[in-house]
Amino acid sequence: MRVAVTGAAYVALPKSKLPTNATDNWDPAFTDVGWISDDGITESNSTDATEIKGWQGGQTVRKVISSSEMTFAFTAIETSKTVLELYHKGSKVSTTSGKSVLAIKSPGPDRRIFGFDVIDGSNHIRIVIPDGEVTETGDITYKGDEAVAYELTITAYPGADGTVAYKYSDDGSWTGTTTPPA
């Protein structure tokens, strides 16, 4: 049985060096997103299919997948430059004389590389999304008895070969692992 006891979320600009296994250090281009709520990270896969029915009896004879999507959602509970810029797509934090400002702009495209480490005791799973984007955000609540939280949903986009993510494990129980293109 696997239990995701702890982990981390990372982000880097496109074309940064991708990890190729579960245990090597992340390239310095990756930034740790920081604290994540105790809900952890949720991976979701959804598909839409069109049913093709036969004329004889109206039976379903085939289903054609018309769309599919893989998303990862988590709630960051640390207010940092990285989190603010992910939550407010296209906006940048600037700091002058020790004071920071976030000029919030209308959201625009902001594709990046995302990664997650999931730790269960001595087992380590690493998930790498070579082309992803924050496509949904939740409301921010400023309240005295709760952490300021930033709900983020990342959509993983397919590469030229259709791959949307890579998963690596260090426990030796998987076979046929694929290495991402250089």
**What does the pLDDT average to over 93-114?**
94
Contact 86, 132 (CB under 8 A): no
Report whether pLDDT(160) > 80. Answer: yes
Report CA Rg, the chain.
Answer: 19
Give residue-wise pLDDT tens across range 105-155: 998 899 999 999 998 877 889 999 999 999 999 999 999 998 999 999 999
Could you list the beta-strand ranges (E) of 16-59: 31-32, 42-53
Both tokens of residue 16?
């940064």
> What's the rounded Cα separation, in Å, for the pair 119 and 171?
11
Sign of the C-alpha dihedral, residues 10, 16, 19, 23?
A: negative
CA distances from 31 to 61, 80, 82, 92, 182 (A): 48, 11, 8, 15, 20
Report whether pLDDT(102) > 90. Answer: yes
Higher pLDDT residue, 123 or 104? 104
Question: How would you class 135 by CB atoms within 10 Å of its CB: exposed for 0-12, middle for 13-18, buried for 19 or more?
Answer: middle
1: which residues sit within 8 A by CB, 6+ positions away? Answer: none
123: which residues sit within 8 A by CB, 6+ positions away? Answer: 2, 169, 170, 171
pLDDT of residue 166: 96
Contact 110, 89 (CB under 8 A): yes
DSSP letter, residue 133: E
